A and B are shown apart, each in its own frame.
Chain A
Amino acid sequence: GQQLNQSPQSMFIQEGEDVSMNCTSSSIFNTWLWYKQDPGEGPVLLIALYKAGELTSNGRLTAQFGITRKDSFLNISASIPSDVGIYFCAGLNYGGSQGNLIFGKGTKLSVKP
């Protein structure tokens, strides 16, 4: 079945640093979504991407839909302690998986104050 490879699996960075994570797949996706999950809570949608090449920002977050439609990245600029959490990418292929999202395994972000 379709799979998303999300990397890195975890990151431990200094406050103020920029962060970059990405998702790749051998399959084409029509939509890419990025979620953040705080401990004990449900994932919250950060950014949604609908077109190949699209670059979208949400505050300090920037995400891009890869031109090949097989990858996406998320950047966080000037990280702060509240950025701690697990970030999940998710892809949607209209023709596959019966229209359900495919999730990556997550990138766990830890920030030193």
Chain B
Amino acid sequence: EADIYQTPRYLVIGTGKKITLECSQTMGHDKMYWYQQDPGMELHLIHYSYGVNSTEKGDLSSESTVSRIRTEHFPLTLESARPSHTSQYLCASARDRGVGEQFFGPGTRLTVL
């Protein structure tokens, strides 16, 4: 079973607040990902990392930023949250680029008022 954790699970905040969504994995995976997903809809890749000090933007433009200082940790930050950021944010990790299997965390449901 995959060991990937996200906190908080639910977050309700006001417009303009700075927030950080945490994601950690204990599997030693080099590759980590952030997806944005509206309820019942498709997944959109917003950030990914192939290892420490490596971060790239995904297919969907996002105002969020990420960092990868440690292999196991891949936090996502919004400097000034807006209602348009309301969504579910899913973190995933993968063991090996060639194999492709990604394991997902439980997600953070963000609501910006």
Contact = CB atoms under 8 A, between A and B. Distances in A.
Chain B contact surface mostly: loop
Interface in B56-85: 56, 58-59
A40 interface: yes
B94 to A, nearest CB: 8
Interface string B3-44: 000100000000000000000000000000100000111110
A33 interface: yes
Contacts of B91: 42
A100 B33 contact: yes
Interface residues of B, number: 27
B77 to A, nearest CB: 20
Interface of B: 6, 33, 39-43, 45, 48, 56, 58-59, 90-92, 97-107, 109
Interface of A: 1, 30-31, 33, 35, 39-45, 48, 50, 86, 88, 90, 92, 94, 98-101, 103-106, 108
16 contacts: A33-B101, A41-B106, A41-B107, A42-B90, A42-B105, A42-B106, A43-B43, A43-B90, A48-B101, A88-B42, A90-B100, A94-B97, A100-B45, A100-B48, A100-B58, A106-B42
